[in-house]
Structure 1
């Protein structure tokens, strides 16, 4: 029950959660430690879209051997007859994990056709999706530090939770990154 998942927290925001007990999440934390940039909000940092990003992809377009983390009881958005996922990946094609994307979540993180951003919360302990939704739903990012500290205390997290803002790219936004920054895939 340590697999990554994603929840909608406002009309325009979603939060992807990863537990470090999941080997993929632990590997991601180890790789990107120190790559983050401070944001205007306490306890939230940015990971640049030229390093790692979230994209929408059909099951058919993702590597068959990659591991899959699905959200139970979410209505999946069908694309070309298959399931649509949000995939956390690097430009060289390495996928860290994927979560099933509902239409509601895609709308929340895709304010325009270029893409947007999602919050990525990484924790040493598993937290239920419903609890995350209840804790963050309707809250401004300025409040996230207090919420994260309360969750750390509740779950006795000796290691701090990490909260990042990660770029979400639609196909048009991804093409723009290729053009503007010369990133390759």
Structure 2
């Protein structure tokens, strides 16, 4: 008779009813998962904005290196113009050797107007940096900042090396 009461799983109805998780156990596990998600979300948000600021800083650094190389190779001035108010920057090349030189948008993909990702801001001590055919350039410090921090792209007069440093916007001053 016990064989007829058994289900295909081999459990009696009483054993089958007690198998599995209770509603309280499922609720506690769900609550624990929600608490962990709530605690970790702000950390990931800060990490994402920091990665975005670092990536943008490295992009500006690469554009600076490219502009310096092109100025030496083509024997003409190049300029990176920064629009701090709108968070944009662009590579320009000298059209004529007049004093002061007239600049136009550089040819190719590096001459496009670059913009910052959402949540970042751009500041600095000058609105542009000029690269000369002899390898010299203007000194500049450009800050790519988030709400909690950011990075400074620092270029010295002999711009063979661009320095990228983390900074705290509440304590650092935007000059060299």
Give the TM bin, normalised by the shorter chain.
under 0.3
Which has more strand, going by share of residues?
1
Higher RCO structure (Cα 8 Å, ≥6 apart): 1
More helix by share: 2
TM-score, normalised via structure 1 length: 0.24
Length-normalised TM-score, structure 2: 0.25
Bigger Rg, structure 1 or 2: 2
